[in-house]
A and B are shown apart, each in its own frame.
Chain A
Amino acid sequence: MNLLAHGLGGVRDLPVPESLFFTTAAIVLVVSFVLLGALWRRPLLDRHDEGQRLAGVLQAVLLSRALRIVLGALSVALLVLAMATALLGTTLELLNFAPTFVYVIFWLGLPLLSVLLGDVWRVLSPWRAIADATVWAIERTGRVAGPVLDSPWRYGRYPAAVALFAFVALELAHPRPAYPRTLGVAIALYSYWALAGMAVFGRDSWTKGGEGFAVAFSILSRIAPFAVRDGAIVVRWPFTGLAGAERVPGTLVFVAVLLGSTSFDGFSRSTTWQNLLGDVRANVADESQWVVDLATTFVSVVGLAVFVGAVVFTYLVAVSSARLLVHAPRSLASEFVLPLVPIALAYLVAHYFSLFLIQGQFIFTLVSDPFGRGRDLFGTVDFAPNLAIVSPETVWYVQVAALVVGHVAGLAIAHDRAVSLFENRRDALRSQYPMLGLMVLYTVGGLWLLSQG
């Protein structure tokens, strides 16, 4: 059972044909591009990134040790609960707490929280909390707690990209991703990855480059209007955190995994893909079930990798053409990575917000009976989710709006980078033609995928 297929599909009675949406979206992008070129002549984002400090009382409460300990304990408790229900609870996916919690509440809720409130994962990560507590306990006994390896981190964000790819492969390519036992061992495996990594390379290095979720949420939180600077919380304009270049190796691949996986999820629900999987199944129909599963999983992982690769490839083509157009002395590949972040967010919203609103409601019944044993701990088992909370038309309009806004934001951030990078205004504009092409391609491609799904 694909838990993720439980969101409302994309039925809609559109007043106009879908192709008109594609054209309109493309025109909106081109017009924004022209306006950006005419009106946005100096870099703006960097100047507003500093932000203003929050009031002292708020600072003291939000950054307090007590809050950190309470939140840490709570998140460790949730991790234990998710693992326990997955390993010991009912094997019925929708009656078990773990699948809905992991795939809907955690994986869709935290990106949203990060975009709205900043890098909250720093205090919400159960693995970081466990590591911090361990270090605290070791240091209390008077010993020194250091990582196993002392060498500086030189792997960029590649390990995190691998971790995230493993997670999205479980979510999108595994034959039964929501089967509680599988999910339980997967949680254990990831916890091991997170904890062992911190033990070997150090807490901060691993959080910045190895723990996939930490990197994902931290990158998305650069959109947020809140950030921590020099130990103080600042309020700033949204999106200003995306100014500048991103030179940490592996960031492009990481963002591509984020983007490619969401678009592959849309594509994998299209009839084209389902028929292809059907053909694969028909070819190995005489074999035993695990051979069939292996074959479809393999094909899906390849499909996923192709989508991720396509994002990397199209981006590199765009920045190389930009380099040729302005005769730049060195590669521009690290200059325009961050404009892809709002697009990743747009894809997340477009593909998953209906699932989040609909399937997310089931968490209220699930917390009362997390193991699916017929309990009613909080009296919420009879809570009847409103499955008609969003109409199919609303879903479609939110999807279109998210994609267009996300890509215009991407275009604007890239433009801001260009005007700060090139002295000559002509060069700044010319470097952005390929970016415009890339954005139009992504928008129309994204809308097409959504209309298929």
Chain B
Amino acid sequence: MPVRRLSIVFCATAALLVVGFLLTSCGGNDDARTTIETTTRTQPTISTTTDTTTTTTTTTPVVDQPTIVRVGVVGGAPQGGIVRQTVRKGDRVQLIVTSDVADHVHLHGYDITRSVAAGETARIRFEATVPGRFEVELEDRGAQIADLTVRP
């Protein structure tokens, strides 16, 4: 093949792939929206794995009231910036997210996802068994709304 025709073939293939990339980049959203509910299904549960490794420190916390973390989302962004909260390991936590946009609230690390409709509230209750710093995100937008620190 002459070089000119070859270069046309090369460029056309590249262009095709780039267009495909852009299309999938935009298209990803709807798919993720419908299927994300099932993420919690097969994620290995965190509590079982950590309990075995840190049995010495689990001295049955007698905490009755969960720590409440409230986040108000306006226009896809957290009101007053990213909400920061620190709890102790073993605390129970309730995350309450009120949002004016429909999205999914995702607590990283613990991998808990709840959908939230526009103007509604999503609640995530969990026991902070793993120490670390964890992001809370509006999943579809990829926007961080809270920053949860669990101290050991």
The answer for the CA separation of A119 and B143 in the assembled complex, in Å, is: 39
Interface string of A179-219 (1 = CB under 8 A from B): 10110111011001000100010000000000000000000
Measured between C-beta atoms, what is the minimum distance from A407 to chain B in Å?
25
Contact A196 B10 (CB under 8 A): yes
Q: Considering only CB atoms, which chain B residue lies closest to A296 in the complex?
A: B142
A91 at the interface (CB under 8 A from B): yes
B36: chain A residues within 8 A (beta carbon): 92
A285 at the binding interface (Cβ < 8 Å):
yes
Q: Which bucket holds chain B's interface residue count?
A: 35 or more
The residue on A at minimum CB distance from B84 is A271
Cβ-based interface call for B29 (8 A): yes
- Out of A1, A13, A184, A192, which one reaches B151, CB within 8 Å? A13
Q: Are A176 and B76 in contact (CB under 8 A)?
A: no
Bound Cα distance A392, B29 (Å)? 33
Residues A388 and B142 in contact, CB atoms below 8 Å apart: no
Q: Which of A6, A175, A179, A189 contacts B18 (CB 8 A)?
A: A189
A92 touches B44 (CB 8 A): no
- Decide: A292 near B76, CB < 8 A? Known: A2-B142, A9-B133: yes
A10 interface contact, C-beta 8 A: yes
Decide yes or no: A8 and B132 within 8 Å by CB, A181-B28, A274-B144 being known contacts.
Answer: yes
**Contact present for A182 and B25 (CB under 8 Å):** yes
Contact of A278 among B28, B44, B78, B106 (CB under 8 A): B78
Say whether A10 contacts B133, CB under 8 Å.
yes
Which residues of A are found within 8 Å of B91, using beta-carbon distances?
none
**A134 interface residue per 8 A CB criterion:** no
Q: Which of A39-47, A236-244, A379-387, A410-418 contacts B (4 or more CB under 8 A)?
A: A379-387
Interface residues of A in 260-308 (CB under 8 A from B): 269, 271, 274-275, 277-279, 281-282, 285-286, 289-290, 292-293, 296
Q: Is A400 at the interface (CB under 8 A from chain B)?
A: no
Contact A94 B43 (CB under 8 A): yes
Interface positions, chain B 73-110, Cβ under 8 Å from A, are: 74-78, 81-82, 84, 101, 106, 108-109
CA distance A181 to B142 in the complex (A): 17
On whether the beta carbons of A277 and B143 are closer than 8 Å, the reply is yes
Using A91-B31, A179-B32 as known contacts, say yes or no to A1 and B75 having CB atoms under 8 A apart: no
Contact B134 A9 (CB under 8 A): yes
Smallest distance from the beta carbon of A50 to chain B beta carbons, Å? Answer: 42
The answer to the question of B26 belonging to the interface, with a C-beta cut-off of 8 Å to chain A, is: yes
Q: A11-B151, A148-B3, A386-B53 are in contact. List 8 more A-B contacts (CB 8 A).
A: A13-B152, A92-B35, A174-B25, A175-B25, A184-B24, A188-B20, A269-B135, A384-B45
Q: Per a CB cutoff under 8 Å, which of B18, B75, B137 touches A285?
A: B75
Contacting residues, chain A, for B132 (C-beta < 8 A): 8-9, 11, 392
**Chain B residues closer than 8 Å to A271, beta-carbon distance:** 81-82, 84, 147
Interface residues of B in 18-72 (CB under 8 A from A): 18, 20-21, 24-29, 31-32, 35-36, 38-39, 42-46, 48-50, 53-54
Contact A1 B149 (CB under 8 A): no
Q: Output the least CB separation between A320 and chain B (Å).
A: 38
Chain A residue with the shortest CB-CB distance to B53: A388
Cα A174 to Cα B6 in complex, Å, equals 32
Nearest Cβ in chain A — how far from B41, in angstroms? 9
Give the residue name and chain of the B residue nearest to A200 (CB).
Answer: B10
The CA-CA distance from A20 to B102 in the complex, in Å, is: 44
A188 and B142 within 8 A (CB): no
Contacts A95-B42, A285-B77: A148 and B6 contacting too (C-beta < 8 A)? yes
CB-based nearest B residue for A389: B53
Q: When chains A and B are docked, how far (Å) is the Cα of A91 from the Cα of B131? A: 29
- Partner of B49 from A11, A200, A384, A391 at Cβ < 8 Å: A384
Distance in angstroms between the alpha carbons of A2 and B108 in the assembled complex: 9
Chain B residues, Cβ within 8 Å of A11: 131-133, 149-152
Assess whether A192 is in contact with B142, with CB atoms less than 8 Å apart.
no
Q: Is A138 interfacial (CB 8 A cutoff)?
A: no
**Nearest B residue (CB) for A188:** B17
CB-CB < 8 A to B130: which residues of A? 387-388
Residue B14 lies at the interface, judged by CB distance under 8 Å to chain A: yes
Q: Answer yes or no: A443 CB below 8 A from chain B CBs.
A: no
Contacts A13-B151, A282-B75, A391-B152; A385 near B44 (Cβ below 8 A): yes
Q: Specify which chain A residues have a CB less than 8 angstroms from the CB of B82 in the assembled complex.
A: 271, 274-275, 278
Chain B residues contacting A228 (CB-CB under 8 Å) are none
Q: Determine if B25 and A176 form an interchain contact, defined as CB atoms under 8 angstroms apart.
A: yes
Report the nearest B residue to A197, measured CB to CB: B10
**Minimal beta-carbon separation of B21 from chain A (angstroms):** 5
Q: Do A185 and B152 touch across chains, with their CB atoms under 8 A apart?
A: no
Interface residue B141 (Cβ < 8 Å from any Cβ of A)? yes
User: With A92-B38, A189-B18, A192-B13 as given contacts, are A387 and B50 in contact (CB-CB < 8 Å)?
Assistant: yes
Give CA–CA (A173, B105) in the complex, Å: 21
- For residue A5, CB closer than 8 A to chain B, the reply is yes
Tell me whether A399 is interfacial, beta carbon within 8 Å.
no
Q: Determine the chain A residues whose CB is within 8 A of the CB of B38 once the complex forms.
A: 92
The 9 A-B residue pairs with the shortest CB-CB distance, nearest first, are A9-B133, A285-B75, A278-B77, A179-B28, A11-B133, A181-B24, A274-B144, A8-B132, A189-B17
Cα A248 to Cα B17 with chains together (Å): 30
Q: With contacts A271-B84, A388-B53 known, is A6 near B109, CB below 8 A? A: yes
- Give the CA-CA distance A13 to B75 in the complex, in Å: 35
Once the chains bind, are B133 and A8 in contact (CB under 8 Å)? yes
Answer yes or no: A432 CB below 8 A from chain B CBs: no
Candidate in A13, A176, A200, A387 with the most chain B CB atoms within 10 angstroms: A387
